[in-house]
């Protein structure tokens, strides 16, 4: 069986070479049909690097991840395909472990592993802490991302492809849709790839962008669960106000004092992003 590999990029030159090189080592060449990269108007060396690794480059037919992912999906020829993002360095075990979860299983729409920041990153233990509470807090969606995933092509196309959200939370919406339609999205929590965010600012920007996406995504997710309907301004403000106490509990559990700073910062930038997203939606 052969699969297509797809990726969507924007100004990813800093990490792209390492990422593509790792994909070549982890995914056996004998199973690869096409290498398809959709670029969103990069102004750095992203396109040149991709072409040097043998990827066929297309321009995003729209703007952002949702449009980029759907542009790539149009060109997929195989029964299953793999999607990656430009800053995910795959676990050496990714292909062997994740392919077993989905190939030949008609009720599985998607399968992926986790990704973690480098251990020397201030925010490293935020995700490992969430992992310890995945069955408590996160409505079943923890770990389900688009960036190191194998898809059943016909199932995904039958669901309408990748959802189009203006800012983010595409994975959360898609997981809820997959579940509602009676399919499964499986995660191997022991397959842990590396998320190559290069800077403190880059990580905070991610959490701001996540907050920016919340007003739209919660509105759309409310059709799947009433829990999303209650997540308004007061909910996120109280979450931020509680973040020092929460960070203390997190730091004790994970034995990492950095969480005393990291989690309140995450909560603050998420709140600021949410408030900005809410104002844009109301205007």
Residue 275 φ then ψ, to 5°: -65, -40
Kindly state whether residues 88 and 141 are assigned to the same domain: yes
pLDDT tens track for 14-66? 999 999 999 999 999 999 999 999 999 999 999 999 999 999 999 999 998 99
Tokens representing residue 17 in the block: 């070479």
Decide which of 138, 169, 197 is a domain's last residue: 197
Instruction: Answer for the pair 58, 7: CB distance below 8 angstroms, yes or no.
Output: no
Kindly state whether residues 221 and 158 are assigned to the same domain: no
Kindly state whether residues 30 and 163 are assigned to the same domain: yes
Kindly state whether residues 84 and 181 are assigned to the same domain: yes
**Residue 164 sits in which domain range?**
3-197
Kindly state whether residues 53 and 37 are assigned to the same domain: yes
Tally of domains in the chain: 2
CATH code, domain with 173:
3.90.550.10
How far does the chain reach from its first CA to its final CA, in angstroms?
50
pLDDT tens track for 94-130? 999 999 999 999 999 999 999 999 999 999 999 999 9
pLDDT score, position 137: 60
Kindly state whether residues 144 and 183 are assigned to the same domain: yes
Residue 81 scores a pLDDT above 60: yes
The full length of the chain comes to: 283
Kindly state whether residues 110 and 177 are assigned to the same domain: yes
Largest Cα separation within the chain, whole Å, is 53
Decide which of 197, 221, 243 is a domain's last residue: 197
Computed from CA positions of residues 173, 101, 90, 45, in that sequence, does the dihedral angle turn out positive or negative? negative
pLDDT tens track for 182-228? 999 999 999 999 999 767 888 898 899 889 888 888 888 888 877 77
Computed from CA positions of residues 233, 234, 239, 240, in that sequence, does the dihedral angle turn out positive or negative? positive
Instruction: Answer for the pair 63, 27: CB distance below 8 angstroms, yes or no.
Output: no
Kindly state whether residues 160 and 237 are assigned to the same domain: no
Kindly state whether residues 151 and 278 are assigned to the same domain: no
Decide which of 156, 179, 197 is a domain's last residue: 197
Kindly state whether residues 118 and 142 are assigned to the same domain: yes
């Amino acid at each position: 069986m052969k699969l297509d590999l797809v990726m969507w990029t924007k100004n990813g030159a800093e990490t792209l070479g390492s990422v593509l090189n790792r994909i070549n080592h982890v995914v056996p060449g004998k199973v690869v049909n096409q290498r398809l990269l959709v670029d969103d108007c990069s102004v750095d060396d992203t396109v040149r690097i991709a072409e040097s690794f043998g990827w066929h480059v297309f321009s995003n037919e729209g703007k952002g991840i949702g449009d980029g992912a759907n542009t790539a999906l149009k060109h997929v020829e195989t029964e299953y395909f793999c999607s990656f993002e430009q800053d995910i360095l795959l676990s050496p075990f990714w292909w062997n472990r994740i392919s077993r979860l989905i190939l030949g299983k008609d009720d599985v729409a998607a399968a992926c592993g986790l990704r973690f920041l480098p251990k020397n990153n201030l925010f490293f233990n935020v995700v490992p802490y969430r992992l310890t509470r995945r069955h408590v807090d996160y409505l079943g969606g923890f770990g389900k991302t688009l960036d190191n995933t194998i898809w059943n092509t016909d199932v995904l196309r039958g669901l309408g492809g990748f959802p189009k959200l203006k800012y983010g939370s595409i994975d959360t919406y898609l997981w809820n849709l997959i579940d509602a339609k009676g399919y499964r999205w499986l995660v191997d929590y022991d397959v842990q790839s590396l998320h190559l965010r290069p800077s403190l600012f880059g990580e905070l920007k991610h959490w701001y962008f996540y907050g920016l996406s919340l007003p739209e995504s919660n509105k759309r997710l409310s059709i799947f669960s009433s829990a999303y309907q209650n997540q308004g301004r007061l909910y996120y403000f109280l979450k931020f106000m509680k973040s020092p106490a929460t960070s203390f509990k997190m730091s004790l559990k994970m034995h990492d004092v950095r969480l005393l700073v990291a989690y309140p910062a995450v909560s603050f930038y998420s709140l600021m992003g949410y408030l900005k997203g809410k104002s844009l939606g109301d205007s």
